[in-house]
Amino acid sequence: MAMKKVLIVYAHQSAGSFNAAARDVAVEVLKAQGCQVEVSDLYAMKFNPSATADDITGEVKDAEHFHYGEETMLAWKEGRLSADLTEEQRKLSAADVVIFQFPMYWFTVPAIMKGWIDRVLTMGFAYTSEQRYSQGIFKEKKAMLSFTTGSSESMFSSNGINGDINITLWPLQNGILHYCGFQVLAPQIFWAPHHISSEARSTMLEAWRTRLQGLLGEMPLSFTPSDSFDCERGFQLKEVIEEKHKSEDFGLTVGTHLGKRIPPNSQIKSGV
C-alpha cells in the first residue's frame, strides 16, 4: 500500500466516539504503511449539506428553472464551483482509496455526509450518462463504507426485524459508489458498539486494524457489468444473459434479482 493516497470522509460530532476511534486506527495503520492520508471531518469543517445555487459562483444558466445537476456540471467545466466543493473534489481526485466513516442513521448515512455526496459528486466530475457503473469515471479508485450500527447483527439478518443488511446497503454501494465507477470494497460494519463491553469494542478495533493491513489487496464486491444491459430496451438486462441465468437459484444481484432469491451476503463479502 506504499505511496497510496487515502481520503477518509468522516461524519461524527464527538471526538470520543467509536467512529472517531475507527478513524484514528485507519489513519495510524495506513500512514504506517506509507500511505498519504487526508481526512475530511465534516462536522469540524461545518460542511454545508444543502445543494443550492450558492454552490455556483457567477450567474446561473437558468435561474427560473434551476436544475442543480446541469448547472453544477457547467460550473465545474468553467471552474465556477464554490471553494469548498473545489477543495473536496481536489481531495477525491487525488485519492486512490476513499473510506466513508460514519454512524448509520435511519438505515443510511448522516445528513451531513449525504450532503457531501450530493454536492461533491457533481455531474461531469463524478459521472455522466456515458460514464457510470462499470464504465464510471472513478473505476481506477476503490471506496468502502465503514460504519457503526445501533442494532445488533441479528436484527439486520434476512429474518431479523430490520431486514437483510445486504438490501440496506444496496442503494449506497450500488447507487452511489458503483454508480460513480468505484471498485467497492466490502463494508466494515461495527455492530452496535454502544451496547457491548469496552473489551468487545477493543476487539472490534483490533479486527479493523488487522484488515487495514491488507485492504488494497482485497477483491471488490461483484456487480453486473454495464454491458450486460441493453440501452435500446431501456437498459434492461440483455435477453441472452437473462436466458442464461434462468436455471440459477439466485438472481444476479440484490437489485437485479430477476424475481429469484437474493444472492446471500453479496453486499458484505468481497468476491461473492
Give the tens place of pLDDT for each residue, 168-177: 999 999 999 9
At position 208, the amino acid (one-letter code) is W
Return the bridge partners of 5, or none: 36
> According to the model, what pLDDT value does residue 216 have?
85
Burial class (CB in 10 A: 0-12, 13-18, 19+), 125: buried
Angle between helix 198-213 and helix 18-32 axes, rounded to 10 deg: 30
Q: Which residue has the cell 441493453?
A: 230
Q: What is the assigned CATH class of domain 5-218?
A: alpha beta
What residues contact residue 252 under an 8 Å CB cut-off, 6+ apart? 224, 237, 245, 258, 263
pLDDT of residue 104: 98
CA distance 239 to 76: 38
* Alpha carbon of residue 125 to chain centroid: 16
pTM equals 0.95
pLDDT at 271: 61
Residue 257's pLDDT is 94
* Other CB atoms within 10 A of residue 269 CB: 14
Low-confidence ranges of the chain (pLDDT < 50): 1-2, 272
Cα–Cα distances (Å) from 108 to 114, 129, 179, 209, 247, in that order, read 9, 25, 17, 24, 34
Q: Which helix (H) or strand (E) holds 242?
A: helix 239-244
The Cα 245–Cα 268 span in angstroms is 23
Which residue type is seen at 211?
R
Distance CA 168, CA 156 (A): 9
Residue 45: Cβ within 10 Å count: 15
Domain spans in the chain, listed from the N-terminal domain onward: 5-218
Strand partners, 127: 123
